[in-house]
Structure 1
């Protein structure tokens, strides 16, 4: 993708994991070809920014050497998958992942951003993750396929799970879903048959930074911006064999002693104000943005930790697309013509309550709005 500072090159880790060599290799590539940062996306992918056009092919060759490219670019475009972060080789999550990878070429042509969630680990980790087709578990352990935007899912067997995804995808396409773009938008307009709405998934969860009993070390990455120096230090300090990017701008560190992964360059405790804030790169890095975003988001997040009126989730977006957090937040600031519009309890494209705010006036405007 072309951005204001060059190309953005996205990397989708296979089965949601990067081994040690791949992590260190990406650090080198970010410094050699990019702007010196590795970004975590909302779908637990990684991306390098600021790539010059003339360096693109050399970067792709280096990524291929690290084992991070699909042989077929069209297959990579369909491989929008999130898997439970406690996946182990041969377990249910891993088997479903294998089945879905094999089935992707047989699925109908879906809109580019549609994706899949396999949330069948020890707990429901991915309740807030974006995904149109969701393989989940009910409280009794039964496997469900649930369409995003619908509270209930369809019980399926393991053998029937992938055929059911194909069937639901065919229903989506056959009922005009391509025009709506995403499953949640489509089911709000189309009548999803009752057979797909029979059982509730278990309570939805979300990992927190710190030492988790099942996941081990989980670290937060403010604004999803990974600095290669800090990442190398984390790998060396922890002896990590692999990293698993998570939605919500977090990393699971696979290492012998989880406590060794508590690196000062990352958030290692729940409740950090920076982890409640989302912000895109903003200007000058994105041509759609007319405002700087991340320093404002960091300032507001820290103030909010001591100001209950400004607490909750915060999103500072360079434009109305809302790439960093394309959904509701308690407080959203949207850049427009060098200033900001303020949206309370909505998404970046919702009507604002205040418009044309100078950045220096925003804290007072938030308190008085």
Structure 2
């Protein structure tokens, strides 16, 4: 079996990715938030130009699937009219994940990063290189991938390079912005980007390159918060959908609440100013819903790298997942839908499934080549 094709970049609005069901067009909302008007507009565009589904991704973005090449130019014009696109260069660098339950300083830091990253000196940053802005206590984004991290600690905000257990104490938001951008400069000038244009901070440090003293420290980040669940969160509400796929009707219903909608990296949406829970059959508001215990990617035939169907199997397995556990059905070893640890992971390979327990899709399986019918027997044993 050939390894899954790792492209080194994620689909964007100006760089869509061809999949088995058409183009995947990813929208990176500024500061991870859309207005009610923009949400309603995205619902319309999903119906007009795509499959009618809007996916929330693990990078806190939204993406439209099933877009034909002929419809793509009109979609770009419509997204620009909604105020969701800048120029192609700045859009590609808008790779920030923000705490969706955030304090005002989170937005201030994110805006500073976006302004800085618009400079040409950062144009060589790899497509998957990202920033995490998580200065609240406890940390909400501890399990979310990011190369440069602004986090909380018992002593205050810290800057932490991914791959380092500790970080440098920061004085204020201005210093967070300045040193975060300095860390990105150091990554570029110290050889963090390979000849193929790829590179990640943790891999760079693992290779033996040491951080300069000005960008490192010995302050531990604050404890991690449990992953949020659907339902009330603070003054707002989190809403989920099966496998992170929001139908156009569901997104339109959320837009009718009138408030802003934040995209979370948990493949949920957060409405920070809602008091009445939205009501729509495609929305999941119960944290105990069985579909919340299983993750699944698009699978075949929607994804050309997958050799197995995933979501029908995931729906069938959902009722078997013990409470408190998370299972993952992945079409290939890349694990795009849930690139994290799961209690049980089924990984598609040559039309069958490999079984990984207590690991990630790229870990060594304990069983190989299981058919869908053999999976039930294996799980029960």
TM norm structure 1: 0.90
Shift of 1:84: 2.1
Instruction: Work out which of the residue numbers 327, 343, 357 in structure 1 matches 2:356.
Output: 343
Q: Does 1:150 align with 2:168?
A: no
Aligned residues: CA RMSD: 2.0
Structure of higher RCO (CA pairs closer than 8 Å, 6+ residues apart): 2
Which residue pairs with 1:268 in the alignment?
Answer: 285
SS at match of 1:21: helix
Deviation at 1:53, TM superposition (A): 0.5
Residue 315 of structure 2 is matched in structure 1 by: 298
Contact 1:34 1:48 in 2 (8 A): yes
Cα distance change, pair 330–178 in 1 and its aligned pair in 2 (3 A): farther
Match of 1:28 in 2: 44
Q: CA deviation at 1:263?
A: 4.6
Return 5+ residue gaps in structure 1 as ranges.
none
Native 8 Å contact 1:145 1:153 kept in 2: yes
- Taking the aligned partners of 1:336 and 1:85, their CA distance within structure 2 comes to 35
Whether the 8 Å CA contact 2:253–2:278 is kept in 1: the answer is: no
Give the drift of 1:16: 1.1
Structure 2 residue runs without a partner (length 5+):
1-16
In structure 1, what is the equivalent of residue 147 of structure 2? 132
Tell me by how many angstroms 1:122 deviates: 5.7
SS at match of 1:2: strand
* Conserved? CA contact 1:116–1:133, under 8 Å: yes
Moved over 6 A (4+): none
Q: Residues of 1 paired with 2:67 and 2:264: CA distance?
A: 24
How far has the Cα of 1:194 moved from its partner? 7.4
Partner of 1:231: 251
1:184 offset after TM fit, Å?
A: 2.3
- Paired residue for 2:12? none
The one-character-per-residue Cα deviations of 1:140-173 (angstroms, maximum 9, x if unpaired) are 3x12111122221111222222221222223323
Q: Deviations over 1:285-343 (max 9, x none)?
A: 1111111101111221221137xxxx622111111222112233221111112111111
Measure how far apart 1:4 and its partner are: 0.8
Gap change, CA 1:231 and 1:365, over 3 Å in 2? same
Structure 1 residues 34, 113: closer, same or farther in 2, change over 3 A?
Answer: same
Residue of structure 2 in register with 1:100 after alignment: 113
Note the C-alpha offset of 1:264: 4.4
TM-score (norm 2): 0.87
